[in-house]
Structure 1
Amino acid sequence: MPGAAGEPAPSEEPVEAPAEPGSEELLAAQAKVGALTEDLQRLQAEYVNYKRRVDRDRELVKQNAVFAVLSSMLPVLDDLDRAREHGELEGGFKAVADSLERIVAAHGLVKFGAPGDEFDPRFHEALMHAHSADVTTTTCQNIVSAGYMIGERVVRPAKVTVVDPEPEGPGA
């Protein structure tokens, strides 16, 4: 009698698929295809990551090369500034100087530092220090040599003389 103690009910009996010839080979082939697909997906992901890393490294090498070349040109740019200050930058030499300045600017080199700028130790190197009643914050008074940046990166800080506000109160 079905359902009696100790006998499973008909609905509880395991149902097995009829054995087809080659079904084990089909399951093995599907498992192998699944494993190979996973391997392929992993290799594709590794390749994409490798390509991103190589592109990032290539860009970093390019930026460092530009930085190194432009850094080595700073003394020439300083000489051009001094020549301009003394009125010695005229004629054909002025055209060469202007062309050189345009080229370095095209590569991202930006000159900064002007008298009256608020002193910022991230961008300025103080060479001398004084006090003045004419200022309310620490200010760059003279620019000894200009500073340069490429993007957000300081190539060289501006060398400046600095004035602070006069100290207040007795004993100052």
Structure 2
Amino acid sequence: MAKERDDLKDRLLRQAAELENFKKRSQREKTEFLKRANESITKDLLPVLDNMERALGHVDGNQENNSVIEGLNMIYQELVKVLTGHGLEPVKALGEPFNPEFHEAMMQEEDPEAEENTVIKELQKGYLFQDRLLRPSMVVVSKKPARAAGEEEQEVEIKVN
């Protein structure tokens, strides 16, 4: 009788532990599902954000429709605020060393003032969503300037002598 009681108690404890594990797993899955759903919606809104940035970037200060531009800017700021509040943040690119995990190199340009493999232009912003890459930054990366023909000849002459 005591053995049967101990077996039943053991089974009860195991079932309680299984139930607790199931609850934890269900909560994790629900959280992950909501995170992915938010990520999908946020990714769909990125082109809207890009187009608003482009539109505001092409505005000069002497526009007749200043109130329209001001309204567009306010909408843009509110959209950025909402998306940032949900975990969206821009990828740091300009002036940073090229990082293939966060940057997509579209081209290289010679730049004597920048260190080699440094991002010198950002063609399209990249974004992280809750610390996960949502979209890489499309960038232009610096490279060393090509040597002038005269410099190469001098170097060859030095090596020969």
Q: Does 1:53 align with 2:32?
A: no
In structure 2, runs of 5+ residues without a counterpart are 61-67, 154-161
Offset of residue 115 of structure 1: 2.7
Identity of aligned residues (%): 28
TM-score of the pair, normalised by structure 2: 0.81
Offset of residue 45 of structure 1: 0.9
Partner of 1:76: 48
Residues 136 and 34 of structure 1, relative CA distance in 2, 3 Å threshold: same
Partner of 1:32: 4
Letter in 2 for 1:74: L
Offset of residue 170 of structure 1: 5.6
1 CA distance for matches of 2:34 and 2:146? 48
Q: Secondary structure at 1:73's aligned position in 2?
A: helix
TM-score of the pair, normalised by structure 1: 0.76
Offset of residue 162 of structure 1: 1.0
Q: Does 1:103 align with 2:82?
A: yes
Offset of residue 72 of structure 1: 0.3
Q: Secondary structure at 2:71's aligned position in 1?
A: helix
Kept after mapping to 2: 8 A contact 1:132/1:164:
yes
Letter in 1 for 2:112: A
Letter in 2 for 1:132: D
Superposed counterparts of 1:102-121, under 5 Å: 102-121=81-100
Q: Does 1:152 align with 2:123?
A: no
Q: Secondary structure at 2:96's aligned position in 1?
A: coil
1 CA distance for matches of 2:90 and 2:107? 21
2 CA distance for matches of 1:65 and 1:164? 40
Segment of structure 1 superposing worse, 68-77 or 143-152: 143-152
Over aligned residue pairs, what C-alpha RMSD do you find? 2.1
In structure 1, runs of 5+ residues without a counterpart are 1-27
Equivalenced residues, count: 143
Kept after mapping to 2: 8 A contact 1:113/1:143:
no
Offset of residue 114 of structure 1: 4.2
Structure with the larger helix share: 2
Q: Does 1:44 align with 2:44?
A: no
Offset of residue 35 of structure 1: 1.1
Residues 152 and 43 of structure 1, relative CA distance in 2, 3 Å threshold: same
2 CA distance for matches of 1:161 and 1:127? 6
